[in-house]
């Protein structure tokens, strides 16, 4: 695009139930930077890698808590994800919790992650019907963050329906998303009242989690709850952090796993490549006990997850605002405080960076040489800068181990020739994705 090309203003009448995919289509049609106008409000959406690289410059730009996150603040308040940059509780909580996410801490969570991975496997071994992939991944990731972070067991595999916490949380996220498309003056009292009940329920579950822990007297452990109870964070903030971690710590990881399985099933050659990798490690062992170190050896499996997060980064957008008056790309004036939203799936499909078939699922894009040759800000599934994802290593360790265990143990049948439908609840999931599974009998 020439440097002086004006940014197209694209007016739309309403959003859809998939607003992110609507924006992706607008960017496909009008180019990698647009101003979308909805009900008289403009949002600057960016997918151009050079502009995104500028937005990632921490000297000029910072995380923006835009309208979507403002809505999430209605139930997560000043938790880490939704805190304003200058809110004192952000830095306080960040300092308290950072040590719990250093790479070495993953060693501590590994046994819990393995224990919950086993629950999923037991449940799939016993399953008679096709399994609902996103639902079971969500059971697994919720139980993992509950146990690893807070010593609380959601026991999701013992329930036929998702845990009511998940149902309430999904409704809260949907409320946050749909609220963005509201027209001034319309009546939303009933939705808002239902949201209020769900938010109160989330808070009550979290209070139970905190009470269970304080009552147990085991406040000195160095998991997230132990760190917070041993700090000067107040009760309200601890509650906001727990809600934040229960949401941020499982929705996105479960989506990533579900997309990864979807791609593997659709690309048998890639499935064979990861099966080869896990077979080389675990051979014929029935029910291997992956060690912490082994998870680090699962390079191909990790590349599959990276590539799944390229095509469908499950937290698909993040926003940045200008710290001072500036001009983005030498042509888009921004006043201090003006914001732009990075549309990550479109950044991840830029042909100049990813080649002329960016829709193709190809984990070799994450071979070390290919990665080294790419611009640093071309791949951003975990956000950027000091407000980037604190749970990245946690998510990747958990997801890599589980994916490896699943491809080692099962054959997958795409019994209804699933066509991808991406469901949006602020995060992304393959909607209605089910698989028939059976034990693998032959190994490489
Ligand atoms: C922040 C993505 C897993 C906790 C973020 C952000 C992104 C992201 C894009 C930045 C948002 C922004 O700039 O507005 C993901 C993805 C995950 C994942 C794609 C899985 C594949 C996790 C896990 C945890 C977690 C497992 C916790 C155990 C957080 C928190 C923040 C955050 C607390 C806010 C950090 C801060 O602002 O200080 N994540 N996340 N995430 N994530 Fe994750």
Q: Concatenated DSSP letters for 1-70?
A: --TTPPPPEEEES---S-HHHHHHHHHHHH-SEEEEEETTEEEEEE--HHHHHHHT-TTTEEE---HHHH
Instruction: Tell me if 256 CB under 6 Å of ligand 1.
Output: yes
The two tokens of residue 384 are 């950027």
Q: What's the confidence (pLDDT) of residue 444?
A: 85
Upper half-sphere CA count for residue 415 (Cβ side, 13 Å): 14
pLDDT value at 219 more than 70: no
Q: Which residues are catalytic?
A: 252, 382, 389
Q: pLDDT value at position 208?
A: 87
For residue range 401-423, what is the model confidence (pLDDT) as tens digits?
999 999 999 999 999 999 999 99
Report, in this order, helix, strand and coil percent for the chain, each rounded to 5.
Answer: 55, 15, 30
Alpha-carbon gap, residue 231 to 225, rounded angstroms: 10
For residue 57, is pLDDT > 70? yes
The average pLDDT across 124-148 equals 94
The per-residue pLDDT for 129 is 80
Query: Strand, coil or helix: what is 297?
Result: helix
Which positions ≥6 away from 381 have C-beta within 8 Å? 309, 310, 313, 314, 315, 344, 348
What is this structure's pTM? 0.95
Q: Nearest CA to 92 among 234, 215, 207, 216?
A: 234
Q: Which atom of ligand 1 is nearest to the CA of 387?
A: 37
Q: Contact at 8 Å (CB) between 73 and 81?
A: no
Q: Which of 437, 435, 406, 403 is nearest to 303 (CA)?
A: 403
Q: Is 387 in the pocket of ligand 1 (CB under 6 A)?
A: yes
Residue with tokens 């693998």: 440
* SS3 category, 375: coil
Residues linked to residue 10 through DSSP beta bridges, in sequence order: 36
* CA torsion angle 240 241 242 248 (round to 10): 110
For 403, the 3-state DSSP assignment is: helix
Residues facing 348 on adjacent strands: none
Burial (0-12, 13-18, 19+ Cβ within 10 Å), 182: middle
Each residue's pLDDT tens digit, 197-207: 999 999 998 99
Q: What is the number of other CB atoms lying within 10 angstroms of the CB of residue 190?
A: 8
Q: Distance, CA 252 to ligand 1 centroid (Å)? A: 8
Q: CB–CB of 100/131 below 8 Å?
A: no
**What is the residue with the minimal CA distance to atom 40 of ligand 1?**
389
Residue with the smallest CA separation from ligand 1 atom 5 is 389
Q: What are the tens digits of pLDDT across the range 30-51?
A: 999 999 999 889 999 999 999 9
Q: Which of 314, 340, 391, 401 to mutate for ligand 1's pocket (most ligand atoms within 8 Å of CB)?
A: 391
Mean pLDDT of the 52-59 span: 98
State how far the Cα of 213 lies from the Cα of 206, in Å rounded to an integer: 11
Residue 420, helix vs strand vs coil? coil
Average predicted confidence (pLDDT) for the chain? 94
**Element holding 342 (H helix, E strand):** strand 339-343
Q: Do residues 436 and 124 lie in contact, with contact meaning Cβ atoms separated by under 8 Å? A: no
Contact 80, 224 (CB under 8 A): no
Q: Do residues 121 and 102 lie in contact, with contact meaning Cβ atoms separated by under 8 Å?
A: no
Element (H, E) at 99: none
- Cβ count near 309 (within 10 Å): 27
Global ipTM: 0.99
Ligand 1 geometric centre to CA of 428 (Å): 14
pLDDT at 3: 60
H-helix or E-strand spanning residue 361? none
Report pLDDT for 283: 92
pLDDT band at 182; cut points 50, 70, 90:
confident
Q: Does residue 2 have a pLDDT over 70?
A: no
pLDDT at 163: 87
> For 325-350, what is each residue's pLDDT tens digit?
999 999 999 999 999 999 999 999 99
Residue 128 Cα to ligand 1 midpoint, Å, equals 35
The answer to whether residue 221 scores a pLDDT higher than 70 is: no
- Please give the share of the chain, as a percent, with pLDDT higher than 70: 98
Residues at the annotated binding site? 389
Strand ranges (E), 305-374? 317-322, 326-328, 332-334, 339-343
Distance (Å, whole) CA 170 – CA 163:
11
Pocket test for ligand 1, best of 143, 252, 306, 344 (most atoms within 8 A of CB): 252
Measure 434 CA to ligand 1 centroid, in angstroms: 26
Q: What is the mean pLDDT of residues 12-32?
A: 95
Residue 275 confidence (pLDDT): 97
Is ligand 1 within 6 A of the CB of residue 391?
A: yes
CA-nearest residue for atom 12, ligand 1, is 318
Kindly tell me if the per-residue pLDDT of 394 is higher than 90.
Answer: yes
Going by the annotation, the residues of the binding site for heme are 389
CA of 372 from ligand 1 middle (Å) equals 24
pLDDT for position 84:
97
Ligand 1: which residue has its CA nearest to atom 26? 249
Percent of the chain scored above 90 by pLDDT?
A: 78
Distances from the Cα of 15 to the Cα of 23, 135, 142, 427, angstroms: 9, 26, 30, 16
Name the residue with the closest Cα to ligand 1, atom 10: 383
Query: What's the CA-to-centroid distance between 244 and ligand 1, angstroms?
Result: 10
Residue to probe by mutation, ligand 1, list 56, 69, 79, 81, most atoms within 8 Å of CB: 81
pLDDT surpasses 70 at 122: yes
Q: Cβ(117)–Cβ(254) under 8 Å? A: no
* Nearest-angstrom CA–CA distance, 144 and 394: 10
Ligand 1 atom with minimal separation from the 305 CA: 21
Distance spanning both ends of the chain, measured CA to CA: 48
């Amino acid at each position: 695009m020439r440097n002086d090309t004006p940014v197209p203003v694209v007016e739309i009448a309403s959003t859809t139930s998939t607003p992110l995919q609507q924006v992706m289509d607008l960017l496909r049609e009008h180019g990698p930077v647009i101003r979308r106008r909805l009900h008289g409000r403009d949002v600057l959406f960016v997918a151009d890698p050079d502009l995104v690289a500028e937005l990632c410059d921490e000297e000029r730009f910072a995380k923006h808590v835009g309208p979507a996150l403002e809505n999430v603040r209605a139930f997560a308040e000043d938790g880490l994800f939704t805190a304003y940059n200058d809110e004192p509780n952000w830095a306080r909580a960040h300092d308290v919790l950072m040590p719990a996410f250093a790479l070495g801490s993953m060693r501590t969570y590994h046994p819990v992650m393995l224990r919950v991975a086993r629950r999923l496997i037991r449940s799939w071994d016993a399953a008679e019907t096709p399994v609902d992939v996103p639902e079971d991944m969500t059971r697994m990731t919720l139980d993992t963050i509950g146990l690893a972070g807070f010593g609380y067991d959601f026991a999701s595999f013992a329930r036929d329906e998702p845990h009511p916490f998940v149902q309430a949380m999904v409704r809260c996220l949907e409320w946050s998303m749909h609220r963005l498309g509201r027209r001034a003056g319309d009546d939303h009292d009933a939705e808002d009242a239902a949201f209020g009940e769900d938010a109160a329920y989330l808070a009550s579950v979290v209070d139970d989690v905190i009470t269970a822990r304080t009552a147990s007297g085991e406040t000195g452990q160095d998991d997230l709850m132990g760190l917070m109870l041993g700090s000067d964070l107040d009760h309200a903030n601890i509650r906001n952090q727990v809600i934040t971690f229960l949401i941020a710590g499982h929705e996105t990881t479960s989506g990533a796993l579900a997309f990864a399985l979807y791609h593997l099933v659709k690309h048998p050659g890639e499935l064979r490549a990861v099966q080869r990798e896990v077979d080389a490690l675990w051979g014929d062992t029935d029910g291997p006990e992956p060690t912490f170190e082994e998870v680090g050896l699962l390079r191909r499996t990790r590349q599959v997850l990276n590539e799944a997060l390229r095509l469908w980064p499950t937290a698909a957008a993040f926003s940045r605002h200008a710290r001072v008056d500036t001009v983005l790309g030498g042509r888009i004036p921004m006043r201090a405080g003006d914001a732009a939203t990075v549309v990550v799936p479109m950044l991840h499909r830029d042909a100049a960076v990813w080649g002329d078939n960016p829709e193709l699922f190809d984990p070799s894009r994450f071979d070390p040489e290919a990665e080294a040759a790419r611009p640093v800000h071309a791949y951003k599934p975990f956000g950027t800068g000091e407000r980037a994802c604190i749970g990245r290593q946690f998510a990747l360790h958990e997801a890599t181990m589980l994916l490896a265990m699943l491809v080692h143990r099962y054959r997958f049948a795409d019994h209804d020739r699933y066509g991808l439908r991406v469901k949006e609840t602020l995060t992304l999931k393959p909607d209605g994705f089910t698989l028939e599974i059976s034990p693998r009998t032959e190994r490489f």
